[in-house]
Amino acid sequence: MDNKERHARLYSIGSFAKLTGVTERTLRYYDRQGLLKPSERNAQGHRYYSDTDIMQLQRILTLKYLDFSLDEISVHMSEEDQDFKQILANQYLLLQKKHQQLERVMKTIERMQSIVSKVDKIDRNLLLVFIHHIQHEESQRAWLSELLPEEAVDALFMMDATEEEKLEAESQITSVIVRLLELHRKGKKPTDDEVLLVGKEFIEITQMTLKKIFESLTEEQLERFIEIGEKDMFDPLIFPSNFTKEEQDFLDQLLMHVNELTEQGGKSNEGSRFFSAH
């Protein structure tokens, strides 16, 4: 077969799909988008592709490999006078940013998986709120730094703890919250013994976690911070509510009862006030 015959060879869409490893559905889509028009159509409208179309498809697939969108590929294919060296440099910078973003997302997922490792099942919306808190930790720190001294903010976010210690504390708190919400869904009252027992466990865990922040705040600063929570002055975009109104009412009543029992025992219970505030 001479060179002229080779270039005149045509392939049906099925044959072209098998030859290139691209599905017929994708080829039809590329046709509709104007990326890869078949060289010929017969009277019935059937598509036929040539060896030249193979080269065009290879260019498209190469640009896809470089993570260009189809819209970007369409522009690059139609504008031959572009400085593709600069385009590659710009694409490299974009991919670097995407890579960094993917690393942050993967670390967030890994952290969340560790936090919920002790939980059999967790409500999707609550899980997404927890992830939001991880995602916006830096914004939360900046916002709180306007109200609290640096050492208090560092204590709140357990900056001096190891990663393992931080994950363990977060996992314990999450586990207790999920258990409390499950009791609420079962129709348990905040005054039920089972609920109060888990509520006391919740306060004990949070008191250990928050001990350093309480120690770093003056009484006036602590009262001010609790007041902000009680008056719901937290930025809802940075600090979204973890619970529905019914769940929040349930937890507020529970913490009030736990606080009363603790005060009857002669112990201070700042932890319950802190968490009932927000």
Residue 232: the pLDDT is 65
Residue 264: the pLDDT is 62
Domain identity same for 131 and 243? yes
Domain identity same for 77 and 160? no
Q: What proportion of the chain, given as a percentage, has pLDDT over 70?
A: 89
Residue 105: the pLDDT is 95
Which amino acid, 94? L
Helix H or strand E segment including 4: helix 3-8
Measured at the CA of 195, the angle between CA 193 and CA 199, to 5 degrees, comes to 115
Residue pair 214/152 in contact by the 8 Å Cβ criterion? no
> In 9-119, which ranges are continuous DSSP H helix?
13-20, 24-33, 51-65, 70-78, 84-115
Q: Does a structural domain hold residue 94?
A: no
Mean pLDDT of 30-43: 94
- The region of weakest confidence among 52-66, 67-81, 182-196, 219-233 is 219-233
pTM metric for this prediction: 0.70
Closest CA relative to residue 133, chosen from 275, 236, 208 = 236
Domain end residue (candidates: 82, 105, 127): 82
Domain identity same for 269 and 131? yes
Residue 61's domain comprises 3-82
